[in-house]
Chains A and B, each alone.
Chain A
Amino acid sequence: MIHAIYRIPDDAGSLTWLARLPTGLTVAKGPASRIDWLFLDSFDWRLFRAGHVLRLAERDGGRRLEWLPDRTAEPALVTEWPGKAPPSWPAELGMSPLAETLAAALDIRALMPVGRATARSREFALLDDNEKTVARLHEREFAARGLAGGRRTGRFRTIDIDGLRGYGKISRRIGQAFRQAGVAALTPTDVVAFAAAANGRPAGGYSGKVDVVLRPGQPASSAARAILRDLLDTIEVNEAGTRRDIDSEFLHDYRVALRRSRSLLKHLSGLLPEAERTRARLRLQRLAASTGETRDLDVYLLHMTEYRKALPKRLGPGIDVLAAHIAAKRGKARQRMLRYFSARPTRQFLADWRRFLEQAPEDADVEDQPGALDFARARIWKVYRRIVRDGAAIDDNSPAEALHELRKRCKDLRYLMEFFRSLFPKRDITVLIGQLKRFQDNLGAFQDYAVQAETLRAYETELRAGDALPRKAEEAIEALVEQFDGRMHAARAEFQARFGRFAGTENDKRFRALFRGDKTRKGIPA
């Protein structure tokens, strides 16, 4: 059992270490070995962020998956993994505690290699006066390699204290001596960070969220370019994962970044050159449209497990028919989408768009711009007021379209608040985004169930037309549609209460305090 890991400063030799050990112990040099660790995580670093490490360890020709949860230095679960390729999904590990743990940590994201580290390792046994081993030290010198090839970058040396059962006191004394010498204690995630950096993707560096730090007085168009650049980065990295079909979230994040870009562009009239703005809106909209069908089908495939649970067991074969139908459609839809991705106008636009966003703003943008803070407050306040007005007008007799419109405006508001969150006090903006999110969940539920019911009916028609609709599939679809209708109505019934909470006095005060512009200020576009 490994007690702790410490980083050895680059200029220190082994002897420096051994000299720091508590007295009364002798050191016996043990065998040397090689370690090869391939670290696995989701694209958005779900394991790393939670302090977990999953590595495929290769030693003496054997391969095993080692799971080190919560920054612990010792694998808590180990599974033999004879395959050459690492697993992508927990289900590939069969019914095992590791598969369950991983499935919970990853949810719908797949595993992928995120870094590789190889080490030469040397063991030292510490002996007491009976020459009994009371602790082992492992000195390791890591070299990280890019996943694609043999590029070696950096050196990283560690020393592990491998505590033995019944001799914890000695391990603790060694650790204490190391800490007193000012040595940094590490966790296995630090080794992941080292390996990932060498691979060119910093550990924890990606999240689907917009993360741009703005200055209040920065010209609005320069702030907007910074946000749009961040979104374009997200679009590009997720295109690669979408092409490789690693999991459904690449396409999801890709689409969200497109939608966010379009949402922001709507507000930039008069700030960016009109020709570029119009072209970008159109191109981004077409790009989004090219992904719609694949995404819808992804969503149904993700829901399959839930559908199965919602229906009696005997309708299982009916769900199978539906799943096969959707999977076949998805294959074709993906081909169409990827063709659009590769089409010359798409490539040309994305290249132009990056060039445009990376230009110095003063070259092209409108002069006499408002500052980023004033701009953000004005736009957020305006959209918020509109939502309050429209929401108040909705009653039980309003058409579904009214709710759909309101939902879109809420997305718009949410995006604006997230783009510019760095300009506002962290606590206030977080509370308001949280409130908005809860209201959106209600609107989203209504919309989701309405769309799911409608689409399932469409699939039913398609299957029937192809003479491929067994009785059980029809029953399954009917049962699901009925459930969705019920949930849709439940969401609708909740709307008034949810809206009341969102637009209530307390929240309204917060919005007012944070975003209501000073009317005497000039230059804020309406």
Chain B
Amino acid sequence: MIYLAVHNMKGGVGKTATAVNLAYLAADEGARVLLWDLDPQGASSFYLRIRDKVKGGARKLIQGKKDLLSLVKATDFERFDLLPADMSYRNFDILLDAEKKSTRRLRQLMKPLGNDYDIVLLDCPPGLTLLSENILRAADAIIVPLIPTTLSIRSHEQTVEFCRENDIRTPNFLPFFSMVDRRKKLHRELTQDETRKALGILSSAIPYSSDIERMGIERAPVPAFAPRTTAAGCYRALWREIRDRLPARTRRA
């Protein structure tokens, strides 16, 4: 099993759309995928028409009193399951703090999922919290959507710095440009090849697109409801690039 996370400490960068669309594409290719909507806003759950409610809430979950698998819901798509969000997830930090080895608790909780899934994808809330640290420690790769702006790139650099300072074994960061608007000069400049390569950013980018915004109306992944659009094609290219960068085997079984 492989653990992926979509994370950026900055909000509104397209994390949820990325998580839902990539999870769908991975499952479509044949992998058994679980998407965990960790954001109390429950946007992933909403996109997949699943109620953002978890029996027993975050407390039972973190304390290990609730079997993770019993909370999973099938989406409308084959091999693609969701662990829904819950409003109580806003207390994750407090609950994690009360646990032993609080920075590694998440990874430990997810261990039993290995028999049922090939990929677990975490859709993270913004911020750089104890939950974020758990995620950074747990994931085999961190997918980072970046709007081509100075602040967005700076926030990514802050995360990398945070990992170094806290001795988090350098995670495999996979940043890519998200919500790219060709009409904006700064976007054009930053997404130029030399700049992009200098920053270690993937070549696939996701454009700012009304097809992606329509996810809220269609309540489905873009490649499912609009498979022939540019946006769907970009997500496919992004997934291929990410997949090729993943470690061949899971590091820890």
Contact = CB atoms under 8 A, between A and B. Distances in A.
Interface of A: 125, 130-133, 164-167
Contacts of A167: 73-74
Contacts of A165: 72-74, 81
B49 A166 contact: no
B97 interface: no
Contact of A132 (B71, B72, B76, B81): B76
Interface in B20-60: 48-51
B72 A166 contact: yes
Contact of A130 (B49, B71, B72, B81): B49
Interface in B71-111: 71-74, 76, 81
8 contacts: A130-B49, A130-B50, A130-B219, A133-B74, A164-B73, A166-B73, A166-B74, A167-B74
A166 to B, nearest CB: 3
A165 B50 CA distance: 12
| Most B-side CB within 10 Å, residue of A131, A132, A164 | A132
Nearest to A131: B49
A486 B156 CA distance: 77
Given A131-B49, A165-B72, 5 more contacts: A132-B48, A132-B50, A133-B76, A166-B73, A167-B73
Contacts of B71: 166
Contacts of B81: 165-166
Nearest to B73: A166
| Most B-side CB within 10 Å, residue of A125, A130, A165 | A165
A46 B41 CA distance: 55
Contacts of B50: 130, 132
A133 B73 CA distance: 11
A200 to B, nearest CB: 38
A281 B81 CA distance: 69
A133 B48 CA distance: 10
Nearest 4 pairs of A and B residues by beta carbon? A166-B73, A132-B49, A164-B74, A165-B74
B70 to A, nearest CB: 8
Nearest to B46: A130
A132 B219 CA distance: 9
Interface of B: 48-51, 71-74, 76, 81, 219
A134 to B, nearest CB: 9
B112 to A, nearest CB: 15
A130 B53 CA distance: 14
Nearest to B81: A165
Nearest to A1: B74
B218 to A, nearest CB: 10
A164 B50 CA distance: 13
A125 B219 CA distance: 17
A125 B76 CA distance: 9
A514 B48 CA distance: 72
Contacts of A166: 71-74, 81
A130 B52 CA distance: 12
A164 B80 CA distance: 11
B86 to A, nearest CB: 14
A125 B77 CA distance: 12
Contacts of A132: 48-50, 76
| Most B-side CB within 10 Å, residue of A164, A166, A167 | A166
Nearest to A164: B74
A166 B54 CA distance: 11
A1 to B, nearest CB: 9
Nearest to A165: B74
A165 B70 CA distance: 8
Contacts of A130: 49-51, 219
A516 to B, nearest CB: 62
A182 B51 CA distance: 34
Nearest to A125: B76
A165 B51 CA distance: 14
A169 B186 CA distance: 53
A132 B51 CA distance: 10
Contacts of A131: 49, 219
B50 to A, nearest CB: 6
A166 B49 CA distance: 13
A169 B1 CA distance: 29
B33 to A, nearest CB: 12
B61 to A, nearest CB: 15
Contacts of B74: 133, 164-167
A382 B219 CA distance: 83
A131 B220 CA distance: 11
A164 B79 CA distance: 11
A389 B10 CA distance: 96
Contacts of B73: 164-167
A166 B75 CA distance: 10
Contacts of B49: 130-132
Contacts of A164: 73-74
A33 to B, nearest CB: 14
B105 to A, nearest CB: 23
B252 to A, nearest CB: 23
Contacts of A125: 76
Nearest to A162: B74
A164 B49 CA distance: 14
A164 B71 CA distance: 12
B4 to A, nearest CB: 20
A165 B73 CA distance: 5
A113 B238 CA distance: 46
Nearest to B48: A132
Nearest to B76: A133
Nearest to B116: A165
A130 to B, nearest CB: 4
A131 B76 CA distance: 10
A372 to B, nearest CB: 58
Nearest to A129: B49
Contacts of B219: 130-131
B240 to A, nearest CB: 23
A125 B74 CA distance: 13
A166 B35 CA distance: 14
A493 to B, nearest CB: 50
A166 B50 CA distance: 10
A525 B54 CA distance: 81
Nearest to B83: A166
A106 B21 CA distance: 45
A167 B71 CA distance: 10
A290 B252 CA distance: 62
| Most A-side CB within 10 Å, residue of B49, B51, B219 | B49
A428 B76 CA distance: 58
B20 to A, nearest CB: 14
A363 to B, nearest CB: 68
A87 B12 CA distance: 55
